[in-house]
């Protein structure tokens, strides 16, 4: 067994929950595909019932409120609509979530207000006045050094920065500075990839000030009220982060027996690595095991955004190339560690090289030779080789490297075919011997492909796990 693969009984895998201000694009979708492949992989190791995979929508706060206003819709109606369109997008990608949580779900509203009240009772949340620069895009107060020369947020240059002076509830963030530093420095794999850890430590070096965790209702009318103070709304990040706990608690999965893994984009690592642990520490709740921060998908060097008009919806790609081609492309070439620039041209090149030629061609060759031989190939046990060298990189969530290993296995298989030339073997016993090895290997590969390209994996299994193997339609017709 590989290190770290089964040190706990259960596993909880989450993605960030997307703002319901607009339907998700392929950037958001990348995170879902990545987390989905990891969840599917771990279901094989831990058993289906011991893995819980959570995704959803983040529906409160100014971002969503203003988007609804712009569309002249009530915010309830608007966020319901976007949330359901998001869900269609991720369903198109065959994402096997166990729950799609909405922060407007009654159980979440209750949990978020309960946790807030508890922290208030314990004295880790207190009321005071605050003055500062607020970015409604980030839903966060900024210091002057966070802003660029003309006092705009570098992430949201189109949004106005507001100077706010208001009464808020504050979280005693500063009291946890040392605890956070120790956590980040000492806890193995707490922040991955490794280089992101230093970014968080550098942030801590600047020192932490207590931060507001509520906004006055007359300014932000859309959110969860502070139960003991109806004039205040819980800060959207405090509310949103609690979603993980809301869902996991119900399944008895927010505890020391469960390995908790959050997948997030690099822009929100800070909230997950520095704010969320403090919220949990202040309530004496268990901490996540890993926060994995991936990079950004860009198009022609530019951030994907509605205002730039370069948004691509996952479902449109799926319609054109098929779900597994889209999953494969992003898993193999997505921003797992650094930002990547993607293009339709590159997607099509990868499709032809790795899927039509690589996998598709090898499967077709073996099926054709097995059919022609007239021989029978008794199916092996569908026993999965999960903890083999090919899967080692998954313990650090490097699914791209795992796929590289699987494609190396395919190349070796092709080499085996070319070197043994089964089409030229006349001796039936020898032919059976050579082809059996190849059939065995493609069956094995079909099984290990399941977490990444589940529909294709199933198609190959249906074709090969029988005595008489037949040629079928190509898995990935050439473009
Ligand atoms: O941040 N490439 O929501 P969000 C890769 N609601 N990932 C991208 C991306 C891109 N081009 N664009 C966005 C929020 N993402 C909060 C999260 S969690 C408790 C609350 C990723 O809709 C982004 O990094 O702005 C984040 O992980 C996720 O999509 C949702 O972004």
Pick left, alpha or beta for residue 16 (phi over 0 → left; psi -120 to 50 → alpha; otherwise beta). beta
Core vs surface per residue 412-443: b (16+ CB within 10 A) or e? ebbeebeebebeebeeeeebbebbeebbebbb
Shortest-distance Cα residue to atom 26 of ligand 1: 265
> What are the φ and ψ backbone dihedral angles of 103, each rounded to 5 degrees?
-70, -10
3-state secondary structure of 138: coil
Is residue 315 within 8 Å of residue 89, measured between CB atoms?
yes
Catalytic status, residue 368: no
Query: Of the listed 32, 44, 153, 294, which one is catalytic?
Result: 153
Distance from residue 30's CA to the centre of ligand 1 (Å): 10
CA 161 and chain centroid, separation:
30
Return the residue whose CA atom lies nearest to atom 23 of ligand 1.
Answer: 265
Stated length of the chain = 479
For the question of residue 333 being annotated catalytic, the response is no
pLDDT tens digits, residue range 144-163? 888 988 889 988 888 889 88
Q: How many CA atoms lie within 13 A of 403 on its CB side?
A: 24
- What pLDDT shows up at residue 5? 54
Q: Crossing angle, helix 194-205 and helix 177-186, to 10 degrees?
A: 160
Q: Is 25 annotated in the active site?
A: yes
Pocket, ligand 1, Cβ cutoff 6 A: 16-19, 27-28, 30-31, 58, 240-241, 243, 264-265, 267-268, 296-297, 304, 335
Q: How far apart are CA 348 and CA 369, in angstroms?
A: 28
Catalytic residue among 10, 108, 135, 197: 135
Instruction: Centre a 10 Å sphere on the Cβ of residue 253 and count the other Cβ atoms it contains.
Output: 22
Report the residue among 13, 18, 85, 240 best suited for mutation to probe ligand 1: largest number of ligand atoms under 8 A from its CB: 18
Mutating to test ligand 1, I would choose from 14, 58, 261 the residue with most ligand atoms within 8 A of its C-beta, which is: 58
Q: Which atom of ligand 1 is nearest to the CA of 58?
A: 6
Q: Among 65, 325, 70, which Cα is nearest to 217's?
A: 65
Q: Which residue has the tokens 């997307």?
A: 18
C-beta separation of 138 from 153 below 8 A:
yes
**What is the distance between the alpha carbons of residues 400 and 411, in angstroms, rounded to a whole number?**
17
Please identify which of the residues 8, 81, 156, 266 carries the catalytic annotation.
156
Tell me whether residue 466 is one of the annotated catalytic residues.
Answer: no
Q: Sign of torsion, CA 457 477 33 110? A: negative
- Atom index in ligand 1 nearest the CA of residue 265 equals 24
pTM, rounded to two decimals: 0.94
* Pairwise CA distance, residues 222 & 139, whole Å: 13
For 258-292, give the secondary structure using H, E and C. Answer: EEEEEEEEHHHHHHHHHHHHHHHHHCCCCCCCEEE
99-102 and 191-192: which strand pairing? unpaired
Q: How far apart are CA 268 and CA 236, in angstroms?
A: 13
Residues 152, 159, 303, 432: which is the catalytic one?
303
Ligand 1 pocket: which of 61, 196, 267, 342 to mutate (most atoms within 8 A of CB): 267
Of the chain, the end-to-end C-alpha distance in Å amounts to 41
Q: Which residue's CA lies nearest to atom 4 of ligand 1?
A: 18
Give the model's pLDDT for residue 387. Answer: 66
Mutation probe of ligand 1 site: the residue of 23, 25, 27 with most atoms within 8 A of C-beta: 27
Q: Using CA positions, which residue lies closest to atom 14 of ligand 1?
A: 18
Q: Please tell me which residue in 151, 219, 306, 415 is annotated as part of the active site.
A: 306
Element (H, E) at 364: helix 361-373
Reduced to 3 states (helix: H, G, I; strand: E, B; else coil), residue 131 is: strand
Task: Clarify whether 151 is annotated catalytic.
Answer: no
Determine the pLDDT at residue 4. 47
Q: Which residues of the chain have pLDDT under 50?
A: 1-4
Q: Give the pLDDT confidence score for residue 309 in this predicted structure.
A: 84
**Kindly report the CA angle at 248 between 229 and 29, in degrees rounded to 5?**
95
Measured between alpha carbons, how far is 85 from 333 in angstroms, rounded to an integer? 26
Active site residue 306: yes
Task: Encode pLDDT of 35-87 as tens digits.
Answer: 999 999 999 999 999 999 999 999 999 999 999 999 999 999 999 999 999 99
CA 98 remoteness from chain centre: 14
Nearest one of 89, 6, 17 to 50, comparing CA atoms:
6
What is the sign of the dihedral through the CA atoms of 71, 72, 76 and 80?
Answer: negative
For 371-399, give one letter per residue: b (16+ CB within 10 A) or e. eebebebeeeeeeeebbeebbbbbeebbb
**DSSP states of 425-451:** ---HHHHHHHHHHHHHHHHHHHHHTTT
Considering the domain 343-464, what is its CATH architecture?
Orthogonal Bundle (1.10)
Residue showing tokens 């430590």: 201
- Look at the block and give the residue holding tokens 């208030």: 120
Q: How do the domains of the chain map onto residue ranges?
A: 10-315, 343-464
Structure tokens at 363: 């499967």
User: Which residues touch 78 (CB under 8 Å, ≥6 apart)?
Assistant: 20, 64, 67, 68, 71
249 in catalytic set: no
Give the largest Cα separation in the chain, rounded: 88
What superfamily would CATH give domain 10-315? HUPs (3.40.50.620)
Nearest ligand 1 atom to alpha carbon 31:
7
Cα-to-centroid distance, 18 and ligand 1 (Å): 6
If one counts every other C-beta atom within 10 angstroms of the C-beta of residue 351, the result is: 22
3-state secondary structure of 302: strand
How many whole angstroms separate alpha carbon 355 and alpha carbon 24? 26
DSSP 153: B
Active site residue 138: yes
Ligand 1 midpoint to CA 239 (Å): 16
Distance 16 CA to ligand 1 centre (A): 6
């Amino acid at each position: 067994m590989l290190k770290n693969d089964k040190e706990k009984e259960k596993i909880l895998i989450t993605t960030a929950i997307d703002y319901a201000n607009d339907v998700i694009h392929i950037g958001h979708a990348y995170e879902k595909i990545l987390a989905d492949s990891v969840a599917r992989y771990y279901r094989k190791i831990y058993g289906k019932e011991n893995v819980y995979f959570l995704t959803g929508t983040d529906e409160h706060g100014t971002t969503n409120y203003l988007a609804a206003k712009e569309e002249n819709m009530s915010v309830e109606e608007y966020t319901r609509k976007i949330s359901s369109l998001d869900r269609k997008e991720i369903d198109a990608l065959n994402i096997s979530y166990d729950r799609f949580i909405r922060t407007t779900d009654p159980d979440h509203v209750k949990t978020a207000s309960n946790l807030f009240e508890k922290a208030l009772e314990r004295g880790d949340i207190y009321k005071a006045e605050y003055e500062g620069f607020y970015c409604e895009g980030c839903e966060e107060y900024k210091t002057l050094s966070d802003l660029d020369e003309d006092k705009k947020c570098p992430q949201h240059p189109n949004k106005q920065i507001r100077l706010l002076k208001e009464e808020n509830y504050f979280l005693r963030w500063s009291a946890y500075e040392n605890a956070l530093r120790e956590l980040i420095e000492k806890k193995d794999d707490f922040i991955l990839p490794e280089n992101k850890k230093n970014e968080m430590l550098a942030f801590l070096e600047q020192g932490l000030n207590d931060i507001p965790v509520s906004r006055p209702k007359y300014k932000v009318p859309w959110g969860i009220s502070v139960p003991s103070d109806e004039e205040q709304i819980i800060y959207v990040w405090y509310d949103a982060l609690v979603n993980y706990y809301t869902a996991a608690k119900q399944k008895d999965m927010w505890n020391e027996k469960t390995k908790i893994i959050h997948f997030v984009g690099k822009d929100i690592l800070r909230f997950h690595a520095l704010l969320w642990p403090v919220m949990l520490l202040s309530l004496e709740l268990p901490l996540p095991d890993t926060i994995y921060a991936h990079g950004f998908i860009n198009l022609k060097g530019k951030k994907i955004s509605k205002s730039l008009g370069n948004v691509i919806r996952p479902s449109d790609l799926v319609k054109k190339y098929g779900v597994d081609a889209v999953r494969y492309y992003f898993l193999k070439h997505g921003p797992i560690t650094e930002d990547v620039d993607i293009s339709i041209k590159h997607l099509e090149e990868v499709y032809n090289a790795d899927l039509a030629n690589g996998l598709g061609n090898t499967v077709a060759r073996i099926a054709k030779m097995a059919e022609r031989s007239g021989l029978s190939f008794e199916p092996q046990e569908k026993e999965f080789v999960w903890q083999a060298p090919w899967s080692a990189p998954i313990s650090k969530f490097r699914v791209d490297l795992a796929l590289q290993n699987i494609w190396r296995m395919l190349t070796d298989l092709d080499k085996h075919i070319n070197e043994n030339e089964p089409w030229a073997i006349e001796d039936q016993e020898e032919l059976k011997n050579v082809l059996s090895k190849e059939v065995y290997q493609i069956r094995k590969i079909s099984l290990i492909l399941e977490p990444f390209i589940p529909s294709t994996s199933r198609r190959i299994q249906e074709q090969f796990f029988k005595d008489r193997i037949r040629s079928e339609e190509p898995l990935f017709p050439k473009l």
